[in-house]
Amino acid sequence: DPYERNKSDEAFTAELEERYKRLSLLTLDLAEDAGEAARNMADADKGDKPTWFDRRISAANPLRGARRS
């Protein structure tokens, strides 16, 4: 049935468009994260503050806050 096939094609096209939109948003998020990481690395080179990466590593460190002997 051509009508059913056309309906199926339209649904497939709509799904592809939605996936493309989500992928575009993810790509923008990654680009923003990369930009933030680059700015943080530049700040770290100046010695201004801990970088985003340093904060993440420190937060993930199980020995954080433990006394060092």
**Each residue's pLDDT tens digit, 4-58:** 888 889 999 999 999 999 999 999 888 888 888 888 777 766 665 666 666 676 6
Q: Hey, where are the domains in the chain?
A: 1-30
**What's the CA gap between 30 and 15, in Å, rounded?**
23
More confident site: 1 or 26: 26
pTM above 0.85, yes or no: no
Contact by Cβ (8 Å): 53, 40? yes
Element (H, E) at 32: helix 2-46
Burial classification of residue 60, based on how many CB atoms lie within 10 Å of its CB (0-12 exposed, 13-18 middle, 19 or more buried): exposed
The reported pLDDT for the residue numbered 69 is: 42
